[in-house]
Amino acid sequence: MNPTPRHRILLVDDHPMMRHGIRQMLELEDDFEIVGEASHGEEALTLIEPLRPDLVLLDNNMPQMNGIETLRQLRAMHYSGKVLLFTVSDAEDDIRDALRLDADGYLLKDMEPELLVQYIRDALHGALVISPGLTQVMAQALRSPPRQAVVELTERERQVLKTIASGFSNKVIGHKLGITEGTVKVHVKNLLHKLGLRSRVEAAVWAMEHLRSAG
């Protein structure tokens, strides 16, 4: 019987008690392995290459280098793993900056432990994860286009947009919709242009805000 694959997680938070509590909670899960801890962003950046984490759980309000700047540096390093902001801040500026730097999620520290575990799993499988109640704030932070823009999308574009919101890759989207990966890329490019957005993450948030109510 093969052992359960374990996802490698790096914890970045300047509060030792917070890191200790999260470590204890996540280590109860068979599919998680805490490979390291960092107390600030600069330390986290030095650990990426030797530890090769699959996911970085990243506080925002830290000394020396905050979470947003750490995320910016991770993207500049072409880190290919997942990055989740895990913070007390629901400020629009922080949310906007995180998403435009292609964070894989924005989570608030007041959530239930079981929900954090589930969101980490969802992010590891490609979904964009957002704390309950933050969708409206995120939509405002990203200055989403007006709702009537939805009617200008073709049916195929709406289908692609919904699958982007579900966190699927271009390859998976193509398989689900019966089109080639190259065609998906063209649709994504056109969608971003039509909606005035700059990334798949922004498109996913926009879709969750507008397509859900538009049907």
Query: Quick one: average pLDDT of 51-58?
Result: 97
Range with the poorest average pLDDT among 64-78, 113-127, 147-161, 194-208: 147-161
What is the band of 169 on the pLDDT scale with cuts at 50, 70, 90?
A: confident
Residue 205 or residue 104, greater confidence: 104
72 pLDDT more than 70:
yes
Percent of the chain past pLDDT 70, that is, above it, reads 88
SS3 readout for 33-96: EEEEEECCHHHHHHHHHHHCCCEEEECCCCCCCCHHHHHHHHHHCCCCCEEEEEECCCCHHHHH
What is the band of 3 on the pLDDT scale with cuts at 50, 70, 90?
A: low
Across-strand partners of 84?
A: 57, 105
Q: What is the pLDDT of residue 4?
A: 67
215 pLDDT more than 50:
no
Q: What is the pLDDT of residue 102?
A: 85
What is the band of 140 on the pLDDT scale with cuts at 50, 70, 90?
A: low
What's the mean per-residue pLDDT of the chain? Answer: 85
Look at the chain and count its residues: 215
Q: What is the pLDDT of residue 42?
A: 93
Q: pLDDT tens digit string along 84-112?
A: 999 998 888 888 888 888 899 999 999 99
Across-strand partners of 37?
A: 11
Q: What is the pLDDT of residue 34?
A: 97
Q: What is the pLDDT of residue 21?
A: 95
Burial of 28 (0-12, 13-18, 19+ CB in 10 A): exposed
Domains and CATH numbers, the chain: 7-140 (3.40.50.2300), 144-214 (1.10.10.10)
d(CA 195, CA 191): 6
* Strands across the sheet containing 55-58: 32-38, 7-12, 55-58, 82-87, 105-108, 129-130
